[in-house]
Amino acid sequence: MSLIQKIEVLKEEALERLKQTNNAVELNAWRIRYLGKKSQLNDILRSLSTLPLNERKQVGAAANLLKTGLEERLSKKEQAINRKRIESTGEEQLDVSLPGCSLPIGRLHPVTQVIDEMSKIFVSMGFQVVEGPEVEWDYYNFEALNIPREHPARDTMATLWVDYETDGGDRPMLLRTHTSPMQIRVMEKMQPPLRVIVPGKVYRYEATDATHIPMFFQIEGFAVDKNITMAHLKGTLYEFSRRFFGQDRRARFRCDYFPFVEPGVEMAIECAVCKGNGCRLCGSSGWIEILGAGMVHPKVLERVDIDPRVYSGFAFGMGIERVPMLRYGIDDIRLFYSSDLRFLRQF
């Protein structure tokens, strides 16, 4: 019998026995017998070098074709046996040869993204970023900012108080209502010229609605130096508005009152939802107040031993959540803390 005939007989025998295999053990035995190192087919392939050239080409082609065909049939039979096993047991075993399941990659919260972007804008204008305590002394949160205990401005802050006593005397503490206390803390330790921004959480005891929540983020900024004027304040905030909201968004200043600045102003940005026509978000005014600002009150400078006759300064504070609301037209501040992935994935 020639080698070509042996290959044909081996093919018929292998395929017939493959049909009779019903489990993984039998299939592995079949693989060893017909495709293993000691198989008859492998012996034929090793003997090719002893054959004449013409016969070697013919036998080699037939043997390799058989090997490829048997490997394909083995793979299909293996899949069929596995599928049958899974269907019979109802359980799928782990196949470590398969690629792993990819997990979604996390990302920064949109508020954190905005804080980073805003900080970069102010840092490029010469400001440095500092942080402060969220549980604050009454002195830094109110009194040193020209808001004594009897001042009516305290009533508008809706303060969350923390009881605390030390040294036998009452030293009230609170959850800070704004990040402005860091004005005093920084000026106590550093001398002008100063340019500082303070991002962080603040707390107020108030009802929750589309534009108010009891815990939110605020960024405070102030500058103290010789010959600082209201023009520097407006120029700084207009430049921030231009970089963050774009050239086409309108901004305006109006007079306002804050105990720790004199004079005081508020800055408002054109509503992104209604484009100035009036809607629920802006209270039908077409504008949304974004921050309060003004020139640092002389009494505040005197508190930290900075001579107001030599130095002047400006300060501003804005709610950080309102900034992306204005930029993207978000009509409810509560969406930032709802943990709704449909909303968060947009950022």
Q: What is the pLDDT of residues 234-265, one digit of tens each?
A: 999 999 988 988 888 788 899 998 888 999 99
Helix (H) or strand (E) holding 196: strand 194-203
**pTM as predicted:** 0.65
Contact predicate 176/203, CB 8 Å = yes
pLDDT at 135: 92
Q: DSSP label at 101?
A: P
pLDDT at 93: 62
pLDDT at 229: 94
Q: What angle do CA 228, 202, 333 make, to 5 degrees?
A: 105
Q: What is the pLDDT of residues 182-216, one digit of tens each?
A: 999 999 999 999 999 999 999 988 887 777 788 98
pLDDT at 179: 92
Q: Residue 168's pLDDT band (boundaries 50, 70, 90)?
A: very low
Q: Residue 103's pLDDT band (boundaries 50, 70, 90)?
A: confident
Cα Dmax for the chain: 117
Q: Residue 281's pLDDT band (boundaries 50, 70, 90)?
A: low
* pLDDT for residue 52 is more than 80: yes
Higher pLDDT, 128 or 5: 128
pLDDT at 324: 83
Q: Worst-scoring range by mean pLDDT, 164-178, 190-204, 267-281?
A: 164-178
pLDDT at 184: 94
* pLDDT for residue 167 is more than 70: no
pLDDT at 250: 84
Q: What is the DSSP string of 112-163?
A: HHHHHHHHHHHHHTT-EE----SEEEHHHHTGGGT--TT-THHHHT--EEE-
